[in-house]
Amino acid sequence: MIYLEDPKKLKPLVGQAHQVAMNMLRPISRKYDRAEHAYPTELDMLASMIDGLSESGASEGAGASGVRREEKQEKTGPESSGNRNGSNLASVLSITEMCWGDVGLLLSMPRQGLGNSAIASVADEEQSERFEGVWAGMAITEPGVGSDSAQIKTTAVLDGDEYVINGEKIYVTSGDRADHIVVWATLDRELGRAAIKSFVVPKGTPGMRVERLEHKLGIRASDTAAILFEDCRVPKENLLGSPEVDTKQGFAGAMATFDNTRPLVAAMAVGCARASLDLTRELLEQAGVRIDYDRPAHTQVAAASKYLQLEADWEGAKLLMMQAAWMADNREPNSLEASMAKAKAGRVGSDVTLSCVELAGMVGYSENELLEKWGRDSKILDIFEGTQQIQQLIVARRVLGLTSGQLK
């Protein structure tokens, strides 16, 4: 049975997230869009509140619990014979609401970085306990190595009880503010993708240096850094997952991170698009354009017809996002669904936000409203965590049953 509504047990969390977005994030959205690279100090109190709720068990947090392929979690309680709605679904729904407030501010939230999802997905029990409470960014992209993560050039060489990391990473979200960085590096370039592992590098480790902060089109409240690693030594215990190179498995362990983070990015796009739709509907109604859900779209004025089409696309993106998260909660392989959700939501997010700018005319193009900002913010959500084109390629491989070598 498929239910198309938010689970009842998560509605209080969703409501709380929406209140935070409306009363804390939306009011300072324009302020930190203009003050690029300035840290939003207002988030410290909010992050402390989230930590407190998580520790008390009253909330499942704004992060995610991770996708572990090897586990098939036993269900207990009222959901033991049916669906389990857990922290992954809670995460995407709460993130959707938070990004209704502001995507850049959500990405700036302490201890809720994409690297935290990587740790949750790949770390063993000892590592999960040791890195609990850290704020982790994630460093994957390199100069000349964009969407094809298998071509990573950064190396990690074992020297005694430490790995020595050398390489350059770019476009690292929270790269300057986070206190830890999850770095993707290869143990042996000749072994290809199978030798790629992820390492947790504490901020301030000798040999790790933030080179610069990027100036960006959107999500300007979030810091995006280039980081250089020169003979950077980390304990061998900081390698996430198994140090063994399994040529049959490839780098599935590292890639499991994406099964977790892609639905989160889809949630960001869904939230930003919903904000644009809500405001555009208000503006259209003020202009005398009424959207009638009881009449076919082609019988209504052009603006209303376009709005209905955008809202239908948005609904599809949301449902794909929820499906991918639900599968993670129920320990079902969700690589295909995670990529489908990311591809759909990324494309819909850009289409919806820019179309809303057009529907609102000069009001949408001016800084008097946030529509133009949401149009700028949403574009990155179709790019990072795997571009639109890469997601379509992954989906095609999964559907056709072909390997990356067979379908490039």
**Region at 86 (left for phi over 0; alpha for psi -120 to 50; beta for the rest):** beta
pTM score, two decimals? 0.91
In angstroms, the CA 239 to CA 235 distance is: 8
How far is Cα 59 from Cα 87, in angstroms, rounded to an integer?
9
pLDDT digits (tens, 9 = 90+) for 356-368: 999 999 999 999 9
pLDDT in tens, 315-352: 999 999 999 999 988 989 999 999 999 999 999 999 99
Average pLDDT over residues 253-269: 84
Domain residue limits at 296? 1-408
**Residue 291 reports pLDDT greater than 60:** yes
Model pLDDT, residue 55:
56
CB 73 within 8 A of CB 313: no
Tokens of 175: 């790269």
Residues designated catalytic: 385
Amino acid at 179: D
**Per-residue pLDDT averaged across 386-406, rounded?**
92
pLDDT grade for 53, boundaries at 50, 70 and 90: low
> Could you tell me what percent of the chain has a pLDDT over 90?
72
23-27, 175-179, 249-253, 318-322: the lowest-pLDDT one? 249-253
* C-beta pairs of 142-151 under 8 Å, 24+ apart in sequence: 142/167, 142/168, 142/169, 142/170, 143/168, 143/170, 146/387, 147/386, 147/387, 147/389, 147/390, 148/390, 149/184, 149/193, 149/196, 149/251, 149/254, 149/255, 150/192, 150/193, 150/196, 150/251, 150/404
Per-residue model confidence (pLDDT) at position 404: 81
Residue 62 has pLDDT above 50, yes or no: no
Whether residue 249 has pLDDT greater than 80: no
CATH number assigned to the domain comprising residue 135: 2.40.110.20
Structure tokens at 176: 């300057």
Given this model, what pLDDT does residue 76 score? 46
pLDDT surpassing 60 at residue 30: yes
Residue 197 phi, psi (nearest 5): -130, 165
Say how far apart CA 300 and CA 295 lie, in whole Å: 8
Name the residue with higher pLDDT: 64 or 117: 117
Tell me the one-letter amino acid at 201. V
Name the residue type at position 127.
Q
Tell me what percent of the residues of the chain surpass a pLDDT of 70.
Answer: 89
Domain count, the chain: 1
State residue 401's pLDDT score: 95
Q: How sure is the predictor about 49, in pLDDT bands with cuts at 50, 70 and 90?
A: confident
